[in-house]
């Protein structure tokens, strides 16, 4: 039973990290405005008693971070591939116009 629960937890975190890009757009819209945190001095408030807007879940931030990483790498590799393709076509074009190459 513990192993099953632990496997579920691993699967959940893996999904958060690997399947993030699909969710990233909704995540950015859900973020509350930034609010600096101060250590409690006057009273301690349990987190479940905070208003919903102040209970910041970590999962959307994790999804957003991994989405950015995956998209940045994929986008950059795609841009290199496109530029290489274009320059190869230019070389072929120049080769056609310069028969001795």
Partner 1 sequence: MQRLFLPLTIVVAAMFAYAPLMIANAPFESTMLLVQKIFYFHVPSWFVMFSGAFLCAGASAVYLAKGSRDADHYAVTGAELAVVFGLMGLITGPLWARKAWGVWWEWDVKLTLALIVWLTFVAYLLLRRYGGPGSEKLAAGVGIFGAANIPFVYYSVNWWRTMHPKTTVVPTLGPGMRGAFWFCVLAFMLLMVLIVAARVRLERQRALVDELFLELED
Residues that bind partner 1 (CB under 8 A): 9-14, 16-18, 31, 34-37, 56, 58-59, 61-62, 64-66, 68-69, 72-73, 76-77, 80-81, 83-84, 87-88, 90-91, 94-95, 97-98, 101
Classified as helix, coil or strand, 51 is: coil
Pseudo-torsion of CA 92, 94, 96, 98, nearest 10°? -140
Kindly state the greatest CA–CA separation across the chain. 84
- Cβ proximity to partner 1, 13 vs 45, nearer residue: 13
Nearest in space to 58 (alpha carbons), one of 33, 25, 31, 19? 31
| Paired tokens of 93 | 């074009």
Q: Cβ of residue 82: shortest distance to partner 1, in angstroms?
A: 10
Q: Cβ of residue 1: shortest distance to partner 1, in angstroms?
A: 19
């Amino acid at each position: 039973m513990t192993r099953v629960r632990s496997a579920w937890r691993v699967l959940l975190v893996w999904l958060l990290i690997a399947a993030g890009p699909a969710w990233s757009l909704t995540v950015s819209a859900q973020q509350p405005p930034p609010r600096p945190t101060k250590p409690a001095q006057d009273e301690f408030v349990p987190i479940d008693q905070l208003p919903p807007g102040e209970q910041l879940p970590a999962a959307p931030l994790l999804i957003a971070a991994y989405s950015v990483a995956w998209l940045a790498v994929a986008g950059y590799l795609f841009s290199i591939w496109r530029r290489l393709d274009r320059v190869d076509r230019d070389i072929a074009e120049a080769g056609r116009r310069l028969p001795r190459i």
